[in-house]
Amino acid sequence: MPSLKISRRSFLQGAGGVAVALPLLEAMVDSAPALADSLPKRYVVCFGGQSLGGDGDPLHNDYVPNIIGPNYDLKSALAPFADHNNVKNEISVVSDLWIPSAEGGPVPPGGRVDGFHVSTLSPLLSGVRSSSTRAVSNGPSSDQLMVDVLANGTTFRSLVYRIQADWYLQSSPPEGHMISYRANGSGNPIPIPPTTSPRLAFNTLFGNFTPQDPAEAARQEFELRARRSVLDLVRTSSAALLPKLGRADRVRLEQHYDEIRALENRINAIPPPQTGTCQKPDDPGADPPIGGAMYDGDGQIHYDQNLGYSDEEQRARVFCDLIRMALTCDLTRVVSLQFTTFQSHMNVYQLTGQTFDLHELSHSAGGTLEVSKGIAWHMKHFGYLVAKLRDTPEGSGSVLSNSALVFLHEGGHGRDPSSGLRYSAHSTENMACLIAGRAGGLRAGQHVVAAGMHPANVLLTAMRAVGYPEVSLGEVAGEIPGLRA
């Protein structure tokens, strides 16, 4: 069965932009070996809003393996990697990372201000030092830098999703909601609000896939034609509206019209042939309802009543399935998947049985082993995503062979420069992160100790593995030695 996917758009460009019949495309797919170099490369960045250890616990984490190199041991935070036929063989752990802190002085390059929360956002995602504890990035995030390298021609330049459905903290303004930042015309990073609805993601990604049933296909053909007419009508309203507006409103509305035009292009894109591994996923159904506010930690109250929880378990599974298929069908080559927000107040009772939110897990007396249960929930779904990509054949390997995925954690564990405490979750000492995929000679299933290096070095390694030409990310330069063959 032909399993190779080629870029439809680049193929069509080569064919003069003319829509072609499926058999020709299939014929080209059958000549797979000749096209080995044209297999799409993918870049995925994931984030979990937690540090690795608990306050006051001398144990920095239950995450970093004892064994260095291959066949590393799984501690409790990474225990889910034993599943899916030992998916740990596809995932490398990079340990002994850090983000330098200001230590009362100026913030160093790639560093952070001393106050912890959200201070890691900018250096972690963009490699550029933070200047405050506000949730802003001072540089474009790695995924949006990769859009310019990888996405050209794919239907979706990037997917920006978040699993945690709400901020959940009642009386403070939302922080840490966004992990993707693109550079605007003036080079300033602008956040991209994530899609939090799996239902919407499904509709958007697969709404124009042709159903097998002829009657359904005819109905859908009609609907697509109607949608195009509708969007065309909506977009052309700009001609009358924009000239009437003042400068600020014109910019605001122009950006919205640009997004409408981009949506039109996505809808006009020819859906990929559903052959081999590219298939429309099962309909995920309605989104789970959004839960209410969460106490900022608690040991007793009503954890089973949907407080601070919107069935993120199901949301995570659906998003991972959708991302897997979007990558397989080459609908996109860049994904940003935020599992939880910075300083996440998601209630974990339904997930781990603990009567806390993620943030309080780090600060309550439970210590590092309790924190690790929260991390392990993230790992369960990350492992699932990696396994799905591994099990999706492509060319002579799998989709995973042509991908680079990174999982970032908000913090490490160790000394907190603001309090001076030695064993604090408010620390960027002893950080670690994960890298998966085999694109660009990435070595899978390794534990690599990268003393003194920065999480952005891991991002850069993954970026370069899928074709990023630069030698630095923000203010952080160089790859992690030993991660690529």
Partner 1 sequence: MEPRRAAALTFALIAVGCNGRSDLTDYTQVNALVGVSGARRLSRTEYDNTLRDLLGDTTNSGFGTLPPDANDPFDNDYRTQLTSPGLVEALESLGMSAAARVVADPAKRAAVVGCAPSGPGDAGCFRDFVTRFGRRALRRPLATDEIQALLGLQSFSREQNDFYTGVKLVIQALLQHPEFIYRVEVGTPVGAVGGLYHLNSFEVATRLSYFLWGSAPPDWLLDLAAVQRLQRPEEIRSAAGRLLEDDRARARVNRFHALWLGYHQLPHSAELTRALQTETAALVNKVIFDDASDYFDLFQANQTYLNDFLADHYGLPRPGSSSFQWVSYGASGRKGLLSHGSFLSAGAKFNDTSPTQRGIFVRTRLLCQQVEPPPPTVNVDQPPTSPTSNCKADRYAAHATVGSCAACHRKLDPIGFGLERYDRAGHFRTTDDGHPECPISGDGRIDELGAFNGPAALEDLLLASGELERCVTTQLYRFAMGKQESPDEAVLIGQLATKFHGSNRSFKQLLLDFTSHETFAYRRDE
For partner 1, the binding residues in 347-376 under the rule CB under 8 A are: 359, 363
Ranges within 185-214 binding partner 1 (CB under 8 A)? 190-197, 199-200, 203-204
CB of 236 to partner 1, least distance (A): 7
Helices (H), 282-357: 312-328, 349-352
Write the DSSP string, 238-277. Answer: HHHHGGGS-HHHHHHHHHHHHHHHHHHHHHHSPPPP--TT
Evaluate whether 96 touches 449 at the Cβ level (below 8 Å): yes
CB of 479 to partner 1, least distance (A): 31
CB count within 10 Å of CB 369 equals 16
Closest to partner 1 by CB, 15 or 301:
301
Q: Is 401 exposed, middle or buried (0-12, 13-18, 19+ CB in 10 A)?
A: buried
Stretch that binds partner 1, among 88-96, 120-128, 184-192, 406-414 (CB under 8 A): 184-192
d(CA 124, CA 143): 12
CB of 148 to partner 1, least distance (A): 16
Closest to partner 1 by CB, 185 or 244:
244
Closest CA to 375 of 19, 24, 123, 51: 51
Asked if 289 interacts with partner 1 (CB under 8 A), we say yes
d(CA 270, CA 7): 11
Asked if 280 interacts with partner 1 (CB under 8 A), we say no
Among 16, 17, 33, 104, binds partner 1 (CB under 8 A): 104
CB of 129 to partner 1, least distance (A): 13
x/- track of binding to partner 1 for residues 53-92 (CB under 8 A): --x-------------------------------------
Place of tokens 């239902």: 199
Asked if 36 interacts with partner 1 (CB under 8 A), we say no
Instruction: Compute CA 354 distance to the chain's CA centroid, rounded to the nearest angstrom.
Output: 26
* Cα maximum dimension of the chain: 68
Asked if 166 interacts with partner 1 (CB under 8 A), we say yes
Asked if 423 interacts with partner 1 (CB under 8 A), we say no
Ranges within 238-277 binding partner 1 (CB under 8 A)? 238, 240-241, 244-249, 252-253, 255-257, 259-260, 262-263
| Total chain residues near partner 1 (CB under 8 A) | 88
Ranges within 303-332 binding partner 1 (CB under 8 A)? 305-308
Which residues are within 8 A (CB) of 136 and not within 5 positions of it... i.e. 6 or more apart? Answer: 121, 122, 189, 191
Which residues are within 8 A (CB) of 145 and not within 5 positions of it... i.e. 6 or more apart? Answer: 463, 468, 473
Asked if 469 interacts with partner 1 (CB under 8 A), we say no
Asked if 117 interacts with partner 1 (CB under 8 A), we say yes
Amino acid of residue 395: G
Stretch that binds partner 1, among 28-36, 322-330, 418-426, 434-442 (CB under 8 A): 418-426
Stretch that binds partner 1, among 74-82, 156-164, 320-328, 374-382 (CB under 8 A): 156-164
Stretch that binds partner 1, among 34-42, 113-121, 434-442, 470-478 (CB under 8 A): 113-121
CB of 406 to partner 1, least distance (A): 22
Closest to partner 1 by CB, 347 or 403:
347
d(CA 484, CA 441): 5
Instruction: Compute CA 368 distance to the chain's CA centroid, rounded to the nearest angstrom.
Output: 25
Among 217, 218, 230, 471, binds partner 1 (CB under 8 A): 230
Evaluate whether 63 touches 425 at the Cβ level (below 8 Å): no
CB of 416 to partner 1, least distance (A): 6
